[in-house]
Structure 1
């Protein structure tokens, strides 16, 4: 039960593609495909489809099949069953908000890269001991924000983070300038109200702003 170098390198390559990973919640496949195309056209090509709705896996599969030029992962992966179903749906990577023992065991053995979540130094160290050098930092704002992550650079130089939770266009640069942040996750680039209205041009414009941000 460990994180292999091959999958770590694959995850590193995925995260290097973008400064911002949209955190997406879809109620149906059709809107998922349309929103994903808008995000891609705005310059964001790595997407996290959260498993928060009954239609999430269907939407994820539809995006994988119908939207060219994007790398699609499954987010809010909470249990081993989610790992299996997300992989079957076509997810290229998996993200969890936390790191329970059962989930770590399943995720580390999955055929695609798995990025667990942490909110403390102890959790990050436990993952590092298992070979994980990338982790979601969640909920980023309540857990301490950029200052907290900055303090981890010296003691944990080989662990890199994707802060998510409370990240916005305004504060994303404060995270992205840090040595141990490779990208940020955020729902602001595809807010539910725009998805529900079918405002794909609005989502594309938000994606274009986010894609202009740069990681250090």
Structure 2
């Protein structure tokens, strides 16, 4: 499987689903359902013990699935994610140690930022695309509009509190390349094993207007 940069990955679809699975089997069903709905990029988080196993399984489902690991909060997570087959990593924040660990593991990283100081660190370390997290709670669309002035070249993937209704507002911004969201996998659908509903939500998300910039 060819290695992709974060820049390539974030342009594969307007929405990257943020996923947390109770079991590896649930992860496989959901990953299949999302892929059937046209979603090519998955962010499977380390918030549950099933995370790494679900990543391994999802990587085997289709040649055109790009699986990333989310909720990287420790440098050692980078090597674990790479070993499980993840093609990129997503973190809620960024430190120099985490940046170095991602480099050492050969894991393209989408680091989280929330403040101008976070952004300046990310820029110093060479990042051109960052995750804005938690997006809604940290100021949403107005905050991203404000960031565009001092940081005109930086691109964002806002994640956190975004819904099917608010996603188009984020995607319309000149500095947003995609959004992350958990609305594609509602708890009620997962509890009922209603994979068709996941596919329906994935199809709707895939058809959102992707940014043209």
- The TM-score bracket by the shorter chain reads over 0.9
Matched, 1:33 2:28: yes
Between 68-77 and 105-114, report the one with greater CA deviation.
105-114
Whether the 8 Å CA contact 2:38–2:206 is kept in 1: the answer is yes
What are the ranges of 5 or more consecutive residues in structure 2 without an aligned counterpart?
A: none
Whether the 8 Å CA contact 1:36–1:67 is kept in 2: the answer is no
Q: Which residue of the partner structure matches residue 200 of structure 2?
A: 205
Q: Which residue of the partner structure matches residue 44 of structure 2?
A: 49
Rounded to whole Å, the distance in 2 between the matches of 1:191 and 1:19 is 19
Q: Which residue of the partner structure matches residue 72 of structure 1?
A: 67
Rounded to whole Å, the distance in 2 between the matches of 1:124 and 1:141 is 17
- Superposed counterparts of 1:1-216, under 5 Å: 10-216=5-211
Whether the 8 Å CA contact 1:165–1:185 is kept in 2: the answer is yes
Whether the 8 Å CA contact 1:40–1:69 is kept in 2: the answer is no
Whether the 8 Å CA contact 2:78–2:107 is kept in 1: the answer is no
Rounded to whole Å, the distance in 2 between the matches of 1:200 and 1:41 is 10
Number of residues paired by the alignment?
Answer: 209
TM-score normalised to structure 2 length: 0.94
**Secondary structure of residue in 2 paired with 1:102:** helix
Between 97-106 and 26-35, report the one with greater CA deviation.
97-106
Whether the 8 Å CA contact 2:75–2:102 is kept in 1: the answer is yes
Q: Give the drift of 1:68.
A: 4.0
**Secondary structure of residue in 1 paired with 2:169:** helix
Q: Which residue of the partner structure matches residue 4 of structure 1?
A: none
What are the ranges of 5 or more consecutive residues in structure 1 without an aligned counterpart?
A: 1-6
TM-score normalised to structure 1 length: 0.93
Large movers: runs of 4+ above 6 Å: none
RMSD, aligned CA: 1.4
